[in-house]
Amino acid sequence: MNGETRLNAAPAEVYDSQFVPALFAHWGPVVADAARVRPGDRVLDVACGTGAATLAAAAKAGPAGQVVGLDANPEMLAVARRKAARDDCATIEWLEGKAEALPLPDAGFDAVVSQFAFMFFEDRAAALREMLRVLRPGGGLAVAVCDAVETSPGYGRFAALLDRLFGRAVGDSFRAPFVLGDAAKLREICGEAGLEGAEVAQHREAVRFASVDAMVSTERACVWTLGGVLDDEQFARLKDEAETELAPFVTDDGAIRFDMPALIVTARKA
């Protein structure tokens, strides 16, 4: 898919075709393991997007398990519903709903996961309380968020480049997914939610786009960060400057690769 096609695609399609393979697909098994998903478990993926973590949980739960992928965005769910788990995976149900008011009964799940969505919730403490409510006693919870942008060498440089070219407000638009990259802040939210014994740990995985142009074009098309922020002239300037700024992360095949650490909150329900 070329840069122009990405810019014209629906947000859910951009997310699934670009961000999932570049960032999110390889985090699904990490988050499922952090929640201790086991064969036969019933698992909930909160704010599942197009289903990257849902499919990973289904693989861990196996054919005897059940997984529910829940999201408030019907466009994301429409893309997710086109996906089918393998025969050796759990059955999947896709459900529309908000994290702060889960349309699900108490104590119905062995594990609850949420991957790279928590920073966008309207009421984070309320969402955690809801996740706890639907967990059975002894069930595992794992919530992943992006660590601070400064911990990622590539994204840190990109944010600084946006500051330099267009001002801090544009740079901060890009920083939106990184606002919870603070272990102390996460523990504070856990305290507000009454989530006792929660642990916060850093995990590291890599970001990989086909090229610098692909990365910049995808970020410009992202409605959660730079979507609608840059005009065509600014976008052209950004692409040109990014080729130089991000050159240290370009591999021999022209792809761009760098670390993007995440913080994962884990807990067990008493």
147-182 pLDDT, tens digit per residue, is 999 999 999 999 999 999 999 999 999 999 999 999
**pLDDT score for 221:** 85
Residue pLDDT, tens place only, 179-214:
999 999 999 999 999 999 999 999 999 999 999 999
Position 182: which residue type? D
30: left (phi over 0), alpha (psi -120 to 50) or beta: alpha
Listed in sequence order, the DSSP H helices in 81-202 are: 124-134, 153-166, 168-174, 183-193
- pLDDT at position 228, please? 86
The domain spans of the chain are 3-268
- How high is the pLDDT of residue 8? 61
Could you tell me the CA-to-CA distances from 22 to 135, 141, 228, 238 in Å, in that order? Answer: 31, 25, 22, 20
Characterise 118 by phi-psi region: left (phi > 0), alpha (psi -120 to 50), beta (else): alpha
> Taking the model in full, what pTM does it have?
0.94
Which among 257, 252, 145 is positioned nearest to 207, based on CA atoms? 257
Sign of the alpha-carbon dihedral angle for 223, 226, 230, 233: negative
- Distances from the Cα of 209 to the Cα of 74, 111, 253, angstroms: 27, 31, 11
pLDDT over 90, % of the chain:
87
CB 32, CB 58: distance < 8 Å: no
Pairing of strands 199-209, 256-268: antiparallel
So what's the pLDDT on residue 84?
A: 75
Q: pLDDT averaged over the chain? A: 94
For the stretch 50-72, pLDDT in tens is 999 999 999 999 999 999 999 99
Contact 225, 269 (CB under 8 A): no
**What pLDDT is recorded for position 6?**
46
Beta-carbon count within 10 A of 244 CB: 10
Question: What is the 3-state secondary structure of 126-137?
Answer: HHHHHHHHHEEE
pLDDT of residue 86: 82
Q: Over 60: is that where the pLDDT of 5 sits?
A: no
Q: What is the CATH number of domain 3-268?
A: 3.40.50.150
**What 3-state DSSP class applies to 158?**
helix
